[in-house]
Amino acid sequence: MAIEVDYRFTPTIDAHKQAKVIAIGQTVGTWDARFAHREASLTSHKSEVVSVFKEPDNYSIATIRFPEANVENDVSSLLTMIFGKYSMAGTAKVIAVRLPENYGLRPKFGISGIRELLNVRERPLIMAIFKPALGLSAIDHAAILKEVAFAGLDIIKDDEILGNLPSCQTLERLKACREVLDTVKQQTGRTVLYAVNVTGNAAQLLQRARELVSHGANALLLNVFSYGFSVLEALVSDPEVNVPIFTHPAGAGALCAAPDYGFAYSVSLGTLMAYAGADAVLYPAHYGNLPFDANQEAQIRDTLRARNTMPVPSAGIHPGVVSKAISDYGQDVILNAGTGIMDHPDGAASGVKAFFEALEYAQKGESLSLDSLPDGALKSAIQKWGVWVDK
C-alpha cells in the first residue's frame, strides 16, 4: 500500500517542478553510477508524482504517492517524510493525507467505548471545562465538579493551560475530584469522566499518566502539538494507560492558520489525530468564538468518525448553538463548553441544565424563542448568549 499526499501551491509556483522536488528530495534523493547495483532498492523507496492540476483560482494541487516502506507506521516519521525539510522551502500547504486503513493506531475507546463507560447511548454528550483556568485549589476544583456532576454533566476536563503547578498539583487535584466522582456514582449510579491534563517531559509525562490512572483517573487530556504525536502514540500504546485520551488543539494554529503554508486543519486535527489513536479530539466549531472554516470542521468530523474517534467541537459552545450542532453532527458528538456552562447567570449547575433543556428542544425540532421559553436555566442562557443563526 502507498501513502498519498495533496500539496497546494500558489499561482507563482511551478507546481510540476516543485512536486518532483518533493518526490525526490523527501525520499531517496539522487544517485549516480556508484550505486547502480542498488538501483532496484533505491527505486523502491522513491515516491511518484501522481497528478498536478490547476484550480480556477490558479492555485495548483499536486498529488504525490509515497511508499509505505519509507515510514515506521507512526505519525512522526510520516510528518518527516511528507513535509520535513521541504516545509522550509517556500509556499506549499499539505491539504490532504490518505493513509492505508491499517496505518498507525486506533483508539482504545473512541465513540463506542466512551459511550459504554458513561452508559449513554443515544444522545450527544455534554462536557465542561474547569474555569477559571488558573488560580484555583484542588478543593475549588472538587466543589465545581460536585455542582456540575450532580446536575447531570457527562464529562469535565482541565483547562489545557493548567499543568502540574505547585499551587494545584495534578495528583492532588485528581484525588479531590475522585472523591466527588465516587460520590456521584454511589448516589446516582452515573459515571462522570474527568479528563486530567497530563504534562511534563516525555519520560515524566508517561510516568505521570500511569500514576494518575493508578490513582483513579478515568480520562486524560493531552496537548498534542506541545508534547508531540509520539507522546500521544506512547500513551495510546501503554497497557497501563487504559482510559480515554482527549486531545487539545492548542498550537494547531501555528501549523495550520497561514493560507499558503503548513497543514490544513483537516489534516492535523483530523487525519493525524485519528491515526495516532486519539479517543476524542477537541477543535473549534465554526459557530464558536474562534474563526474556523465550516468545510474544514466537517472534514475533521468525518475523518475522526471513520476511525471511531469522537469529535468534540469547542470554543464558544453555549446552549444557543445546540440545535445547530445536532444538525451538523447528529448524536455522536461531545459538546464542550467552558464559559457556556460555568458563566451561566444562575451558576454552573444551571449551565448544565440549560444544555440538557436545549437538547430536548432540538430533538423535538422546537425553536428557542425568548417569547415562548418558560423562565428557567435555558431562557437565562439564551438571554445571555443568544441563538446561532446561519449566516
Angle between helices 229-237 and 202-214 (to 10 degrees): 30
- Cell readout for 194 is 474527568
DSSP string computed for 215-258: TT--EEEEEHHHH-HHHHHHHHH-TT--S-EEEE-TTHHHHH-S
Cβ distance 76 to 229 under 8 Å? yes
Q: Output 138-142 pairs: Cβ under 8 A, ≥24 positions apart.
A: 138/168, 138/169, 138/172, 138/173, 138/175, 138/176, 138/177, 139/176, 141/168, 141/173, 141/176, 141/177, 142/176, 142/177, 142/179, 142/180
**Does residue 93 carry a catalytic annotation?**
no
What CA–CA distance (Å, rounded) separates 48 from 37? 21
Q: Among candidates 350, 314, 348, which has minimal Cα distance to 125?
A: 314
Burial group, residue 34, by CB count within 10 angstroms (0-12, 13-18, 19+): exposed
- Cell readout for 153 is 454533566
Catalytic residue (one of 17, 46, 85, 108): 85
What CA–CA distance (Å, rounded) separates 216 from 193? 11
Catalytic residue annotation: 85
